[in-house]
Chains A and B, each alone.
Chain A
Amino acid sequence: MNNSRALIILILFTAAFIFIGSRLFTVQIIKHDYYVKLARSQQQGKKIVKAQRGIIKDRDGSVLAYSKDDITFSVDTRMTDEAERRMIASKFASVFNGDSSKYFSLMNAKRGNVCLAKKVSLIDALLLEGYNPDCLIRDEELSRIYPYGRLASHLLGFTNYEVKGVAGIERNCDEELSGKNGEIYFEYNGKGEIIGVNEDISVKPLNGAIVELTIDKTYQTILEEELYAGIAAQQAESGVGIIMNPQTGEILAMANYPTYDPNNLKNSDNDSRRNRAVSDTYEPGSTMKPIIMSALLDKNLVREDEVINTENGVYRIKNTPIKDAHPYRKLTVREIIEHSSNIGISKLSDRLSGKELYKHLRDFGFGQITSVDLPSEAPGFLKKPSQYSALSKAYISFGYEISVSPLQMAAAYSALINGGILYKPYAVKQIVGAEGNLIKKNVPLKIRRVIKQSTSETIKSFMQGVIENGTAQKARLTCVMAGGKTGTTQQLIGGAYSGKKFNSSFVGFFPVENPTTLILIYIHSPKKKYYGGDVCAPVFKNIAERLIEADIKIVPQKCRIKRDDKFVNQIVKNIKQNEELNDEFLTLNVPDPSDEKKETEPVEDARTSIPNLLEKTKREAIAVVSNLGVNFKVFGTGNVVSQSIKAGEPIEKGRLLILRCKPANKLKGLRIN
């Protein structure tokens, strides 16, 4: 009898064995990973230890951006009892001059981490040094400081709330600057107390690298001060300044207006944060002429002393007039640059095939990004030969139908004056890791030879003539020979060229013999004057003279010159003579101090005499004339084709001015050098 009952018991044992065994198998083998994860989640806590963001320095080691550590204090209320919370509340109240009951109710509100003091500076946090109850958690937070505020703010860029670079160098070198966050793994016991750190799997943070720029803080300061002064004087809307080493492509300074303070981003808009020097483009105007001229010289298509008929100020291509601001009968090739003759360069540009012109400009870097180590670069616009109209070559030759960024122009001019080699512009000198290891070192990068050495020398002397004899005499420096070229364009607004809004620019360099410094000034919408020679050349001169004063190396002793008073007086005398002299004077080939020609100032003239209204749009003409206080009548639509009172005649009250207009190609409005 007992055997059958024993069997039942045996079956029961077997069932229990299988039941428990299979359950163990499920828990320990099949769901092992699940339980491991669950167990680890309660046994281990991970805390990210933020790496400190790297420093940005200028070329001499001045710190332009650094990170500041803040500490945020929070309390894990699960680890506290009421008495302890009270103690913590009174401690915080005494340290931070707060209300003890406020802290106390904060801690009572939630089980878990409660933040008591946010972003306490390191100095304030010292007051809590040594106060270390188990439940108190210190969280270091990083914020970005730009000690010089607005200085080079567009170039440096800024970081977002996560301290991640979103503009400028901060963005481009974000990976290097960020470093690597560390991780600390805590072990918790059954009560939720931290009992230690697991060193085996914890990783120390690697702080961000030090980025050393090619920027010179002194240069940058001078550039910004003078650029802003120039913009303020002209009540202009915006402007860009670049200082570059033409021998290497290093950007020594880069300034923009409007500007902003990266320490206080809230008070600025996107427009003021944009680095116009790389991301905005403009039609360069006459600054394009030396580049076209270099192609002609390089291909032996012109002789330096060749005389070109400049048609006394108006020249028609396919019935479209090309005009010079100051009419000349004839000019030598050199004078075409010096006096910035649209007609001259237009005629010469016809000697280049469309393909040659395109290739030449392409070689100089137009129409493509320079690959500078700054974000948001604009490639500009370069017309392909297949798209050329009959006028394209002429217009391109004096800087229309092409758009360039200021940085492209600075790089192209560097090639023009450094012997003919295009360098890639760059703003980062080197990047050094937090442990002193060199991560990256930038050296001047030759992209290509664009013109011959001899061509470069000739163009330099032409551009020296621009300052000594031509349109940019306001850029003349007292102690060194400089070269440069002015540029003025009407802005293309709504498909038509405006007669009121201009882009003025000047690119200059010194010393002429062996240029160490290239300065580009671009001012958008100046209101007082508009010629590059009036608006930008004086800014160049101010910057250059201050640079020479600040940095003795910039002009070697052998390049220094001395202009005596006699020489200056001679110039003044010549200017007076020139005004009376006839055209023959202008055909002289050899530059001579007596060649000085003062640029006229039409805006001032306009107040006392009738301005030239030809080729202005009807709208512009009305705007100009109505300000003069003259009675006038306008017939037709389009551009002004005739005016009843000739330009330059004095304004007489009561006399009627009749303007006739005809519809015209928008390009017919072009009339400025």
Chain B
Amino acid sequence: MKISHKIQDRFDLAIFIPVVFLIIIGLAAIYSSTINHPVAGGNFQRQLFWVFFSFTAMIIVYFLPSQTFRLLSAPIYVFSILLLIAVLVFGKSVYGARSWLSFGGVGFQPSEFAKIGLIFFLSYWFNQKNRNINNLKDVGVGLLIGLFPVMLILLEPDMGTAIIFIVITLALIFWNGISLFGLFIVIAPGFTFFASMLGVYYFYAALLLIIAVLFLFKRDLFLSAAIFGMNLATGFILKYALPLLQPHQQKRIESFVNPMADPLGAGYNALQARLAVGSGGLFGKGFMQGNQTQLRFIPEQWTDFIFCVIGEEFGFIGSILIIVLFTFLFLRLIKISSNLQNRFSSSLLVGIVTLLFTHFVINIGMNVGLMPVIGVPLPFLSYGGSSLLMIMMLIGVALNISKNKR
């Protein structure tokens, strides 16, 4: 009894169990969507292999000494940046994005690995001694650490991953104690940029809002003017940034604004995903019974659109179960994080939660028509080796931290 109690206490089942459930459901959905597929028929076995491989990696990470993470932070970051540069040179282009590196037939996305590097190195950077997050220089360097890989990823280009990098960077700046004004300065340009994407009137409204907030903070005029100027400038980024995007990504942004305008074009996937989810109803059509899935209306459904397999075949009940499992996992990680004395570990956990949460929101959002289709997989469920491996290693990190929390 005592031993079992001890194991339960040290190996955090509250993290592990939701993860196991999510992976099992994911395997079922991959099975359903690929087993009769002429091309992707072997995907279930491949994913099964990756699941075992990832669990092994998770266990290894779980048993690593707690100091390892701090020591490895900088090398992982530097290595991942090198890989991101390498992929731009040697990478394989898939759907218009040069994001894949190939090692002897096994595909690998450096950007997945770079997520670990970013979380580790940013957590490390902000929790060095003598760091003051509200110091403009320190926060600026933090931003540079985050935005350098973003730039490389945008060159691939992979918009979805870039967004995740930005969100992680912002979340870690937030968690490591930036003041409200500082957070405002960091977030405002992103906000203005997003508004400018929606249209010129949204952009004007965003600028007005920024002026109002600046008045509220009552800082000196020069600083306020500089911040306003910076925001104004971001409005013009779009004009120069949009042509950098691949045509298919530009179309996706357009189709997000009006997905029904071109149901057979860019909005096709979004619409088909919603049809699958919507036709599932309360209880779903049953395992292997979803005709939208079985008749293969959604291309590559087992990757980014795995959620609509669940929505169609297991219905509202199945979909809510996924959301509950994820939310349970997020709450558990945040709870551990906020109780930790170790700032670095706490920051790591928040980085992990942010990564999972962003993936979760964007992916499910694009499955149910809340987000544009920007190619972000659903953690634990989507088919894909490097993504699963990366996430399970991060779960290993979380379990490791949970193990060492006392």
Contact = CB atoms under 8 A, between A and B. Distances in A.
Query: Real complex partners, A and B?
Result: yes
Given A2-B346, A5-B174, A25 B281 contact: no
A40 B276 CA distance: 10
Given A24-B319, A29-B316, A190-B297, A43 B291 contact: yes
B275 A20 contact: no
Contacts of B370: 19-20, 23
Interface string B215-232: 000000000000000000
Contacts of B319: 24, 28
B281 A29 contact: yes
A9 interface: yes
B168 to A, nearest CB: 13
Contacts of B361: 16, 20
Nearest to B283: A28
A23 B299 CA distance: 23
Contacts, number: 111
A643 B299 CA distance: 104
B174 A32 contact: no
Contacts of A187: 291, 295
Contacts of B275: 35, 38-39, 42
Interface stretch (B80-88, B238-246, B327-335): B327-335
A116 B231 CA distance: 62
A95 interface: no
Contacts of A191: 296
Identify which of B177, B275, B369 gathers the most chain A CB atoms within 10 Å of its CB. Answer: B275
Given A13-B334, A25-B316, A34 B278 contact: yes
A635 interface: no
Contacts of A42: 275, 297
B274 interface: yes
A32 B334 contact: no
B327 A24 contact: no
Interface residues of A, number: 36
B372 interface: no
A479 interface: no
Contacts of A19: 370
Identify which of B279, B281, B297 gathers the most chain A CB atoms within 10 Å of its CB. Answer: B279
A148 interface: no
B288 to A, nearest CB: 15
Nearest to A38: B275
Given A24-B311, A29-B316, A39-B279, A16 B357 contact: yes
Nearest to A3: B338
Given A32-B279, A39-B292, A43-B292, A24 B331 contact: no
A9 B365 contact: no
A27 B295 contact: no
B298 A190 contact: yes
Contacts of B297: 42-43, 189-190
A563 to B, nearest CB: 85
Contact of B295 (A16, A31, A195): A195
Given A13-B357, A36-B281, A39-B279, A27 B291 contact: no
A190 B323 contact: no
Interface string B291-307: 11001111100000000
A12 B279 CA distance: 29
Where chain A touches its partner, the secondary structure class is helix
Contacts of B298: 190
Interface residues of B, number: 43
Given A28-B277, A29-B316, A35-B279, A6 B368 contact: no
Interface string A173-190: 000000000000001111
Nearest to B277: A27
A21 interface: yes
Contact of B365 (A20, A189, A195): A20
B337 interface: yes
Contact of A10 (B295, B299, B311, B331): B331
Contacts of B320: 21, 24
Interface in B238-281: 272, 274-281
A392 B368 CA distance: 87
Contacts of A123: none
A189 B177 contact: no
Interface in B298-355: 298-299, 311, 315-316, 319-320, 323, 327, 330-331, 334, 337-338, 346, 350, 353
A188 to B, nearest CB: 7
Contacts of B353: 9
Nearest to A188: B295
Given A24-B319, A39-B292, A32 B331 contact: no
A190 B327 contact: no
A27 B297 CA distance: 18
B118 to A, nearest CB: 18
A32 B175 contact: no
B278 A36 contact: yes
B206 interface: no
A200 B350 CA distance: 53
Contacts of B323: 17, 20-21, 24
Contacts of B296: 189-191
B338 A13 contact: no
B364 interface: yes
B282 interface: yes
Nearest to B284: A28
Contact of B278 (A2, A27, A43): A27
Contacts of B316: 24-25, 28-29
A201 interface: no
Contacts of B272: 190
Given A5-B174, A23-B368, A28 B295 contact: no
A1 interface: yes
Nearest to B312: A39
A540 to B, nearest CB: 72
B14 to A, nearest CB: 15
Contacts of B295: 43, 187-190, 195
A193 to B, nearest CB: 10
Contacts of A2: 175, 337-338, 346
A439 B59 CA distance: 78
A16 B338 CA distance: 20
Contacts of A35: 274-275, 277-279
Contacts of A28: 277-278, 280-282, 311, 315-316, 319
A574 to B, nearest CB: 94
Identify which of A23, A32, A39 gathers the most chain B CB atoms within 10 Å of its CB. Answer: A39
- Across chains A and B, which 10 residue pairs bring their CB atoms closest together, nearest first? A35-B278, A6-B338, A190-B297, A28-B316, A39-B279, A190-B296, A39-B275, A189-B295, A36-B279, A27-B278
18 contacts: A12-B357, A13-B327, A20-B364, A21-B320, A23-B370, A27-B277, A31-B278, A32-B278, A32-B281, A32-B282, A34-B278, A35-B279, A43-B295, A188-B295, A189-B296, A190-B295, A190-B296, A190-B298
Given A1-B177, A12-B357, A43-B291, 11 more contacts: A3-B338, A6-B337, A9-B350, A9-B353, A19-B370, A20-B323, A27-B278, A27-B311, A28-B280, A34-B278, A42-B275
